[in-house]
Structure 1
Amino acid sequence: MATDTPLRPADSAAFDEDRGSQARPVPPASGWAPRLRRLIGIEEPLLAWVPEERTRYTWYGALVVNTALLGALSMVLALSSFRSDLPLAAVVGVAVIWFWVVLALDSWLVSSTHGTTVRKWTLAVRFFLSVLLGLFIAEPILFQIFDKEIRQEIAVGNEQKVADYRGMLVSCNPTDGAATTDRPECARYQLKVAGSPAELARQIRTNGDRTAALRTQVADINKTLDDKLATEQRLCGPKYWIWRGGVRDVTITCERARKATSEYEKNSKVKTYEKQLQAMVDHGQALSARKDRAADDYQPLLQKAIDDKTRQRAADLDTDGILTRAHGLKEVAASDGFALFLTIVLHLLLLCLDAMPVLAKVLSGATTYDTLLGARHRTSRRLFAEELEVQHTCARLEHDVQRHRVRLDTDDRMRRLEHEHQRAQAERAARERAELEERMGRIMRARRSVTNPL
């Protein structure tokens, strides 16, 4: 009857099978999920003990990949906005490199948080790093979202800058050509336009001053020359003639006066000065004629110079630079309350998306996997400490063996040395005894030969 009695109830088989399905560790997983978990430093053999958390860490890895993809998209948008001259291959290459950088950084940030020994301040530091990365990723996306408004704001701002610049050019360059050097604000806005009425008036004044000075110089020379000619005529007149060779002739004083007049006329260069004076008078008349026409000719030239500088200023203004677009975004946000609210919300949203890998770790707290990993870390430290202790003990015992071996070898060598020393002493004593006996024999033979002569 005992052999017919079942060892366990019939309804316990299902329970045992269910327990068999919960055996730990579970078989390793396959597919793309383990690869996602491997990106964030998850060890599959350890996770096999808590398979319930596989889904969490799979989506955790997906968050890291999504952040890297968002960073690559942000880099593409940034390069296409700020460097539109780059070829597509260069843009794609830089985006791929930036994808890898963001992926590696986020993977390190997440993998370094595994385990129960991670402190809150280290999580805060990692979160701060992720926020910095998020700011760099979020800005190009915001620029693209508000692209139309930013471009409009930049265009309006540039138009205002150009209008202000043109206004300063007009203010600092009057149509009559009057100088504005006494105005400090006009130092960077003064134009050099030839033929202005004020410039011509200045040239006329300068030419008139030089003409007057030269005319005075020529008049002085002519007055001196007239005085010399009058002296010459007086000394060479009939009143001063003398009889020489039966005819009337001038005196030596007359000849000296004529010579002095000729040398003065030659050395004073009065003819040259008179030609220069006439040229200055003609140049002054020409300048006066140009001044009469300058009112009609100068204004078109000045207008053309102002237009050229204005066009150059408009061409030099930046429209796609990152700082210009950042300033445009600030102006857009400051000009409308809803735009400011939307900018802040989008900033926070993109920052949360970029910082989500670390933020998710902060929010989720320690998991069973972290507990197991921490336990394994502690076990590894204990095993390593025990291994070090075993190695230390073995090394100490090995040193004891070597010390004992050296001690025995030393004792053996000391005994050998003592035996060799005793043997050397015995041999030396034997040699001395043999030498003494030989000397004694020689002495005895010598005595016998003395006492028993032949």
Structure 2
Amino acid sequence: MATDTPLRPADSAALDENRSQSRPAPPASGWTPRLRRLIGIDEPLLAWVPEERARYTWYGALVVNTALLGALSMVLALSSFRSDLPLAAVVGVAVVWFWVVLALDSWLVSSTHGTTVRKWTLLVRFFLSVLLGLFIAEPILFQIFDKEIRQSIAVGNEQKVADYRGMLVSCNPTDGASTTDRRECARHQLKVAGSPAELARQIKSNGDRAKTLSTQVAGINKTLSARQSTEQRLCGPKYWIWRGGVRDVTITCERAREATSEYERNSKVKTYEKQLEGLVAQGQKLAARKDGAADDYQPLLQKAVDDKTRQRAADLDTDGILTRAAGLKEVAESDGFALFLTIVLHLLLLCLDAMPVLAKVLSGVTTYDTLLGARHRASRTLFAEELQVQHTCARMEHDVQRHRVEWDTTDRMRRLEQEHQRAQAERAAQERAELEARMGRIMRARGV
């Protein structure tokens, strides 16, 4: 009976098998590891906590979604502001921008793993995410409010054109009167030939010149008349003389005639008289033109105003980024609900763009972060110990080298001493042999 009684319930075996799941877990396959690799997840380390694989998989999906949203925003921006670009260029720029956003968000997320992440670093990363979100959100908002923005821009441009035309009409009266004394008319004055005021100024200028020239001609003629009177008086019969049996004028008369002719030539009175006749004729023509100038000037002025107005309307921007931003601002300011909707969409898009960092802030410290922090601490400890080992080994190696050098030095010194002693002994033997030879010669010389 005892052998037939189970030690524990039958269903507890499966429970124990689930509890005793192997660690680390088998490597994952498919596209999920690639998503986690984008945010810097270490798969062998995550295998120790396979329960968090799903969390980090969706974490990587958030990063990819943000990059896709950025690429879509860039396509919308280029399509709105540079409609002349070919499709290949738009796609190429969108792909590059996708990669830039993906790399930035991947760095922002991967740098938050671990338990040593400080709050201020998360704030800095969140600030960078908000800046990136603002750049991504604006083109999307432009597309959402495209109809309202275009209507606001059209109304604003019409008002600008109407105001510009009003200034042209105000600063260019139909009678052609000058408006140079008005500061606001400095950039709105038109140059239209044939205005009544311009003709009046020309008539006045022509009359002044004719009057001045007439006075000059009258003065010359007066002087010339006086000289001619003097000439007639000096050349009269009263002053004739007999010369060769014939009555003739005196040399004084000839000098008077020569002086009168020279003055008439030098004074250019004939030229001045012709110029005066031309000025008089021009004055008559200007006076005749002035009578019909009012009827001819108004159509020319109207045409010039119309041309300037059309040019102004053509120069106004309708698709520029600053113009559309100003249009979005006017749409938001014109209606309370539009302002509320704009703020809500801004916040929504900013949250979507900053979601990778927000997800890290909201999720807090995970088991993977704890393991990664432990690995970092272990790595620092191992590295410090490795440095100590390397330092100890290097110091021992230096001791061995120093000991080797000391023994080598001692051995070399011993050899040097032996060589020195041997050399001294050899020199002593040579000196002794030389002394003995010298003594032998001395002794032989003395006959000993």
Q: How does 1:41-56 map to 2 (within 5 A)?
A: 41-56=40-55
Q: CA deviation at 1:28?
A: 0.5
**Local SS of the residue matching 1:49:** coil
- Percent sequence identity is 87
**Local SS of the residue matching 1:217:** helix
What CA distance in whole angstroms lies between the structure 1 residues aligned with 2:105 and 2:263? 100
Q: CA deviation at 1:23?
A: 0.9
Structure 2 residue 58 is matched with structure 1 residue 59? yes
**Which residue is equivalent to 1:452?**
none
Q: Deviations over 1:271-323 (max 9, x none)?
A: 21111111100000001111111101111111111111111111111111111
Q: CA deviation at 1:16?
A: 4.6
**Which residue is equivalent to 1:18?**
18
What CA distance in whole angstroms lies between the structure 2 residues aligned with 1:430 and 1:5? 111
Please tell me the residue identity of whatever aligns with 1:264. Answer: Y
Please tell me the residue identity of whatever aligns with 1:40. Answer: I
Structure 2 residue 322 is matched with structure 1 residue 337? no
Please tell me the residue identity of whatever aligns with 2:90. Answer: V
Q: CA deviation at 1:256?
A: 2.9
What CA distance in whole angstroms lies between the structure 1 residues aligned with 2:125 and 2:38? 17
> For residues 437 and 235 of structure 1, do their structure 2 counterparts lie closer, same or farther at Cα, with a shift above 3 Å needed?
closer
**Which residue is equivalent to 2:316?**
317
**Local SS of the residue matching 2:247:** strand
What CA distance in whole angstroms lies between the structure 2 residues aligned with 1:166 and 1:427? 126
Q: CA deviation at 1:445?
A: 1.9
What CA distance in whole angstroms lies between the structure 2 residues aligned with 1:296 and 1:60? 79
**Which residue is equivalent to 2:429?**
430
What CA distance in whole angstroms lies between the structure 2 residues aligned with 1:5 and 1:431? 114
- Which sections of structure 2, spanning at least 5 residues, go unmatched? none
TM-score, with normalisation over the residues of structure 1? 0.94
Q: How does 1:236-315 map to 2 (within 5 A)?
A: 236-315=235-314
Q: How does 1:342-353 map to 2 (within 5 A)?
A: 342-353=341-352
**Which residue is equivalent to 2:30?**
31
- Which sections of structure 1, spanning at least 5 residues, go unmatched? 450-454
What CA distance in whole angstroms lies between the structure 2 residues aligned with 1:10 and 1:151? 75
**Which residue is equivalent to 2:187?**
188
TM-score, with normalisation over the residues of structure 2? 0.96
Q: Deviations over 1:10-59 (max 9, x none)?
A: 74644553345x11111001111110000000011000000000000000
Q: How does 1:77-92 map to 2 (within 5 A)?
A: 77-92=76-91
**Which residue is equivalent to 1:417?**
416
Q: In terms of mean alpha carbon deviation, does 388-397 or 122-131 score higher? A: 388-397
TM-align CA RMSD: 1.9
What CA distance in whole angstroms lies between the structure 2 residues aligned with 1:299 and 1:400? 109
**Local SS of the residue matching 1:248:** strand
What CA distance in whole angstroms lies between the structure 2 residues aligned with 1:436 and 1:247? 165
**Local SS of the residue matching 1:24:** coil
**Which residue is equivalent to 1:326?**
325
> For residues 156 and 447 of structure 1, do their structure 2 counterparts lie closer, same or farther at Cα, with a shift above 3 Å needed?
same
Q: CA deviation at 1:398?
A: 1.1
**Local SS of the residue matching 1:28:** coil
What CA distance in whole angstroms lies between the structure 1 residues aligned with 2:9 and 2:255? 165
Q: CA deviation at 1:8?
A: 6.2
What CA distance in whole angstroms lies between the structure 1 residues aligned with 2:232 and 2:313? 78
Q: CA deviation at 1:5?
A: 8.6
Please tell me the residue identity of whatever aligns with 1:43. Answer: D
Please tell me the residue identity of whatever aligns with 2:17. Answer: E
Please tell me the residue identity of whatever aligns with 1:18. Answer: N
What CA distance in whole angstroms lies between the structure 1 residues aligned with 2:385 and 2:76? 56
> For residues 262 and 410 of structure 1, do their structure 2 counterparts lie closer, same or farther at Cα, with a shift above 3 Å needed?
closer
Please tell me the residue identity of whatever aligns with 2:138. Answer: E
Q: Deviations over 1:211-261 (max 9, x none)?
A: 011111111122222222222333333333344444433333333333333
Q: How does 1:104-183 map to 2 (within 5 A)?
A: 104-183=103-182
What CA distance in whole angstroms lies between the structure 2 residues aligned with 1:416 and 1:189? 110
